[in-house]
């Protein structure tokens, strides 16, 4: 049996760093949001609270997607990873990488699935994305489901 190449070990290391970074960042963001959400007993607009929470959560997901996209770009440009289906053999632009990252993170799966080093990162980003998206939905539901605000009465 053949052993993984040094490039694959580097891919595993980079992927683990990105996954741990995304989870840590998301934990930090949700902690910050918990601190700025109005107390359920205070008079506030349920709509504005919901909208602001959702926008901040979406923004955090976009940042996480961007970081994974930068990981794909770095792998292709500096480590020689192959990403077939993106302008020949390589990702040509940040937007190609972002598209692949967003469809992977959201588990939509519209991109072509690469093999090798980029394939490992793709699989782990998909797993991380579905866990973090579920975490965000649970957080949002728990925060908004506490106590109805004045506009709900």
User: Could you tell me which residue, 81 or 71, shows the higher pLDDT?
Assistant: 71
Q: Is the pLDDT of residue 139 over 90?
A: yes
pLDDT at residue 103 tops 90 = yes
Task: Please give the share of the chain, as a percent, with pLDDT higher than 70.
Answer: 82
Average pLDDT (88-100) is: 79
DSSP the chain: -PPPPHHHHHHHHHHHHHHHHHHHHHHHHHHHHHHHSPPTTS---HHHHHHHHHHHHHHHHHHHHHHHHHHHHHHHHHH----TTSSTTS--SHHHHHHHHHHHHTT---SPPP-HHHHHHHHHHHHHHHHHHHHHHHHHHHHHTSS--GGG-
pLDDT digits over 84-93, tens only?
766 555 667 8
Look at residue 131 and tell me whether its pLDDT is greater than 60: yes
What pTM value is reported for the model?
Answer: 0.85
> What is the Cα–Cα distance from 106 to 90, expressed in whole angstroms?
22
User: What is the Cα–Cα distance from 153 to 148, expressed in whole angstroms?
Assistant: 7
For the residues 39-62, what does the mean pLDDT come to?
A: 82
């Amino acid at each position: 049996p053949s052993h993984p190449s040094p490039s694959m070990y580097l891919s595993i290391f980079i992927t683990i760093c990105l996954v741990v970074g995304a989870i840590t960042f998301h934990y930090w963001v949700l902690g910050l949001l918990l601190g700025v959400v109005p107390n359920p007993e205070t008079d506030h607009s349920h709509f504005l609270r919901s909208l602001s929470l959702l926008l901040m959560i979406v923004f955090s997901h976009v940042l996480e997607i961007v970081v994974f996209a930068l990981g794909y770009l770095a792998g292709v440009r500096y480590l020689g990873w192959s990403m077939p289906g993106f302008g020949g053999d390589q990702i040509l632009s940040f937007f190609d990488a972002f598209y692949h990252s967003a469809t992977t993170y959201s588990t939509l799966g519209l991109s072509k699935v690469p093999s090798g080093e980029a394939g490992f990162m793709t699989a782990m980003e998909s797993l991380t994305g579905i866990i973090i998206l579920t975490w965000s939905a649970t957080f949002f539901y728990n925060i908004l489901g506490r106590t109805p605000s004045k506009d709900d009465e």
